[in-house]
C-alpha cells in the first residue's frame, strides 16, 4: 500500500472548515492532512499571524492566505503558488464604519477624511479603495489613510498618497468615538464595536441592498483569501494541487448540508437566513475553480496595480498551479 503524503494546512475555524477539523473532509488521493487552527492576526503563543508565518517562514505546506499579499508575492517571484480556492470573501461596503452621529452617508463624504485600515495592502483595504475609485468615483488618493499593522510585503506608495502608522494596540472603536478618525474599513472590526460597547454605524444606509446591486452587476462575492502552497512542494508533488481542491470541494458540500438542520446555527432564524440568501444571491457566491473567479481576480489585479502594490497588470493565470487552470 502506498503511504499517504502528510501535509500541514493552516486554516481559520469557519463553518466551511469544520469538516477539516472533524475529519469529515477526506481525501481519496493519498493525502494525510495535519489541520492546524492558526489565526490571521498575531497570537501570544505563536507571535506572527498565519499570513506572516507563511510568507516569511513558509511555516506550513498549505495555508489560507491574503489574496492581496499573494498578488504582491507572485509579482515579486516569491516561493509561493496557489489553487483557485477562496476560503474567505467579503463585500467592502459592509466593512465601512463611521461615527453614529456622523454626517458621512456615502463614499464621496470620505474625501479628505482620516480613514483607518488594518494595513494598506490587506485585501479588504485593496478592495475598498478600489471600489471607492472605480465603483463610486471617489479617488482613494484623496483620503488620509491610517494603518494599524506593518505591511507584510514592502512597497513604495504612490507619490502624494498620505499613509500614517497608528500606535500599536490602539482601539479604533474608541478613536472613532473620540472623533480621532472619521471612519475605519476593517476585515475584522474592533471588538469594542462588534460587542456594542462603542457605537458605530455602517457608511451606507442600506448596506445589503447595495451589496445585492454589486453582486448582480459583477456576478461575484469578492475574494479575500486564497489557498496558498509552498512552491517547492508542488514542484515535487504536482498532483497535490488538484487533490486538495477536491478535498475542499467536499468540505464545502458537507458544510452546506449543516444548514439542512433548522437549528444547526445558534441563530434562531439561521435556516431562514440561509434560504433568503439563496434567493437574493441565486448564483453560487462561493465557487471553486479558475473560470468562475477569473473576472474577480482581474478586478483585484487592476486595483493592486492602480494602488502601486504590483508593478504590472499581469494575467490571472499566473497566480495558480497550471494543472488547475482548466477548473
Kindly give, in sequence order, each residue whose CB lies less than 8 Å from that of residue 153, ignoring residues fewer than 6 positions away: 55, 69, 72, 73, 76, 121
Q: Where are the domains of the chain?
A: 5-89+223-324, 93-218
Rounded percentage of the chain residues whose pLDDT exceeds 90:
92
How many other CB atoms are found less than 10 A from the CB of residue 165? Answer: 12
What are the Cα distances from residue 161, in Å, to 139, 150, 185? 11, 17, 17
Domain 93-218 = CATH 3.40.190.10 = yes
pLDDT at 313: 97
pLDDT of residue 3: 66
Do the two domains 5-89+223-324 and 93-218 of this chain adopt the same fold? yes
Please give the pLDDT value at position 276: 96
Distance CA 288, CA 252 (A): 10
Exposure of 2 by Cβ count < 10 A (0-12 exposed, 13-18 middle, 19+ buried)? exposed
Residues of the chain with pLDDT under 50: 1, 43-45, 47
What is the chain's mean pLDDT, rounded? 94
pLDDT of res. 100: 96
Report yes or no: 146 and 115 within 8 Å, Cβ to Cβ: yes
pLDDT digits (tens, 9 = 90+) for 113-159: 999 999 999 999 999 999 999 999 999 999 999 999 999 999 999 99
Q: Which of 176, 14, 192, 185 is nearest to 92 (CA)?
A: 185
Residue 7, C-alpha cell as written in the block:
501535509
The confidence score (pLDDT) of residue 1 equals: 38
Whether domain 5-89+223-324 has CATH 3.40.1280.10: no
Q: What is the pLDDT of residue 42?
A: 57
Digit-coded pLDDT (tens) for 61-109: 999 999 999 999 999 999 999 999 999 999 999 999 999 999 999 999 9
Output the pTM of the full model.
Answer: 0.95
Amino acid at each position: 500500500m502506498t503511504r499517504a503524503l502528510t501535509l500541514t494546512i493552516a486554516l481559520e475555524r469557519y463553518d466551511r472548515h469544520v469538516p477539516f477539523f472533524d475529519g469529515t473532509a477526506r481525501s481519496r488521493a493519498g493525502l494525510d492532512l495535519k489541520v492546524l487552527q492558526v489565526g490571521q492576526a498575531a497570537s501570544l503563543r505563536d507571535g506572527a499571524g498565519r499570513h506572516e508565518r507563511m510568507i516569511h517562514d513558509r511555516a506550513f505546506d498549505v495555508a489560507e492566505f491574503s489574496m492581496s499579499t499573494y498578488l504582491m508575492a507572485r509579482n515579486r517571484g516569491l516561493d509561493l503558488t496557489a489553487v483557485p480556492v477562496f476560503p474567505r470573501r467579503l463585500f467592502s461596503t459592509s466593512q465601512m464604519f463611521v461615527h453614529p452621529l456622523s454626517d458621512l452617508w456615502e463614499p464621496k463624504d470620505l474625501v479628505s477624511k482620516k480613514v483607518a485600515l488594518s494595513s494598506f495592502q490587506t485585501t479588504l483595504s485593496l478592495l475598498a479603495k478600489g471600489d471607492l475609485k472605480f465603483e463610486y468615483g471617489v479617488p482613494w488618493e484623496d483620503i488620509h489613510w491610517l494603518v494599524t499593522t506593518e505591511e507584510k510585503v514592502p512597497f513604495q506608495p504612490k507619490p502624494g498618497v498620505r499613509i500614517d502608522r497608528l500606535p500599536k494596540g490602539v482601539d479604533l472603536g474608541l478613536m472613532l468615538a473620540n472623533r480621532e478618525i472619521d471612519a475605519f474599513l476593517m476585515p475584522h472590526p474592533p471588538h469594542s464595536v462588534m460587542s456594542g460597547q462603542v457605537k458605530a454605524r455602517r457608511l451606507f444606509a442600506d448596506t445589503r441592498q447595495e451589496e445585492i446591486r454589486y453582486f448582480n452587476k459583477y456576478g461575484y462575492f469578492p475574494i479575500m483569501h486564497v489557498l496558498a502552497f509552498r512552491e517547492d512542494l508542488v514542484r515535487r508533488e504536482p498532483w497535490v494541487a488538484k487533490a486538495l481542491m477536491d478535498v475542499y470541494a467536499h468540505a464545502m458540500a458537507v458544510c452546506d448540508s449543516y444548514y439542512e438542520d433548522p437549528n444547526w446555527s445558534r441563530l434562531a432564524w439561521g435556516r431562514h437566513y440561509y434560504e433568503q440568501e439563496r434567493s437574493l444571491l441565486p448564483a453560487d457566491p462561493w465557487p471553486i475553480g479558475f473560470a468562475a473567479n477569473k473576472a474577480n481576480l482581474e478586478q483585484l489585479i487592476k486595483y493592486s496595480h492602480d494602488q502601486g502594490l504590483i508593478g504590472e497588470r499581469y494575467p490571472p493565470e499566473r497566480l495558480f498551479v497550471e494543472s488547475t487552470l482548466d477548473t
